[in-house]
């Protein structure tokens, strides 16, 4: 972000943040069975509150750099012309449809930028955002948001342990069931970002409980004592 001391601009930003009380969860993740705020809903509501306060938001440039979509944005106060520039990066995974993946990354980057700028709370206080079948994963660090004190305490208490190395190494069994393992892994990480509101760049970083559910969903049984993963059909023998 470009640091600028411009009173009219920041006064308008303060009013825009105050004016956006919450954004509803308008969609449901079919796999994780949880509600989320779609990128379209988030962008629409943020745009409305910005315009009401004479602020115009736009992407000025983007490019692909080292498998990342790098975007530059600007917010202009229409009354004074004062403006501030921002930028972010999204990890880009091409998959089978690289063009669609780029578009998804661009939408996701705008979604996250607006959400973080306006400190946007979701309607039930749960920090879950899904990016509507996105192949993009946020590589930016977690940002500050408006949250109730109990929510902050619960998050601090819920530092979930990462999956052990033997479980991560066995994940190749699940990938072997997929026609496009790279694309599946990207979607899995994106869903984890939505669920936990934290950046996950690799399968190694995923919480144990999350990876365990992925195995079970695909018909695998985890034996902690043996540190092995086997098919459910093998237990029936």
Contacts of residue 178, defined as CB under 8 A and 6 or more positions apart, other chains included, come to: 184
| pLDDT the model gives residue 135 | 40
| pLDDT the model gives residue 69 | 86
* pTM of the predicted model as reported, rounded to 2 decimal places: 0.52
pLDDT tops 80 at residue 58 = yes
| pLDDT the model gives residue 152 | 35
| pLDDT the model gives residue 155 | 42
Tokens, residue 218: 């695909």
C-alpha 107, offset from chain centre: 11
- For 113, list phi and psi in degrees, rounded to 5: -65, -50
CA distance 94 to 98: 4
State which of 27-36, 45-54, 61-70, 195-204 shows the largest mean pLDDT. Answer: 45-54
Average pLDDT over residues 210-216: 84
**Proportion of the chain above pLDDT 70, given as a percent:** 74
Tokens, residue 164: 């052990």
Could you tell me the pLDDT band of residue 161, with boundaries at 50, 70 and 90?
confident
Could you tell me the pLDDT band of residue 195, with boundaries at 50, 70 and 90?
confident
Number of neighbours of residue 149 by Cβ within 10 angstroms: 7
CA distance 110 to 94: 19
- For 51, list phi and psi in degrees, rounded to 5: -65, -35
Could you tell me the pLDDT band of residue 122, with boundaries at 50, 70 and 90?
low
pLDDT tops 70 at residue 144 = no
Query: Alpha carbon of 59 to those of 13, 70, 86, 89, 113: distances in Å?
Result: 18, 11, 9, 13, 10
Tokens, residue 75: 């917010």
For 29, the enclosing helix (H) or strand (E) is strand 27-29
Map residue 201 onto helix, strand or coil: coil
State which of 7-16, 61-70, 153-162 shows the largest mean pLDDT. Answer: 7-16
**Sign of the C-alpha dihedral, residues 164, 204, 179, 100?**
positive
C-alpha 90, offset from chain centre: 10
Mean pLDDT of the chain: 75
């Amino acid at each position: 972000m470009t640091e600028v001391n411009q009173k009219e601009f920041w006064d308008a930003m303060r009013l825009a943040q105050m004016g956006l009380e919450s954004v509803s969860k308008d969609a449901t993740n079919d796999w994780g069975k949880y509600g989320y705020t779609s990128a379209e809903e988030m962008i629409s509501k943020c745009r409305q509150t910005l315009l009401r306060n004479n602020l115009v938001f736009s992407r000025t440039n983007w490019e692909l750099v080292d498998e990342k979509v790098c975007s530059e944005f600007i917010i202009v106060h229409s009354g004074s012309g004062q403006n501030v520039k921002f930028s972010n990066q999204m990890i880009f995974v091409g998959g089978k449809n690289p063009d669609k993946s780029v578009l998804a990354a661009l939408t996701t980057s705008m979604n996250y930028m607006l959400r973080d700028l306006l400190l946007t709370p979701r309607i039930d206080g749960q920090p879950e955002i899904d990016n509507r079948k996105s192949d993009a994963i946020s590589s930016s660090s977690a940002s500050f948001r408006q949250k109730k004190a109990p929510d902050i305490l619960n998050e601090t208490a819920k530092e979930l342990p990462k999956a052990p190395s033997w479980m991560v190494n066995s994940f190749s069994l699940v990938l072997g069931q997929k026609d496009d393992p790279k694309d599946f892994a990207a979607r899995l990480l994106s869903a984890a970002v939505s669920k936990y509101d934290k950046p996950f760049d690799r399968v190694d970083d995923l919480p144990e409980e999350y990876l365990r559910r992925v195995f079970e969903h695909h018909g695998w049984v985890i034996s902690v004592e043996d540190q092995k993963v086997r098919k459910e059909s093998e237990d029936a023998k």
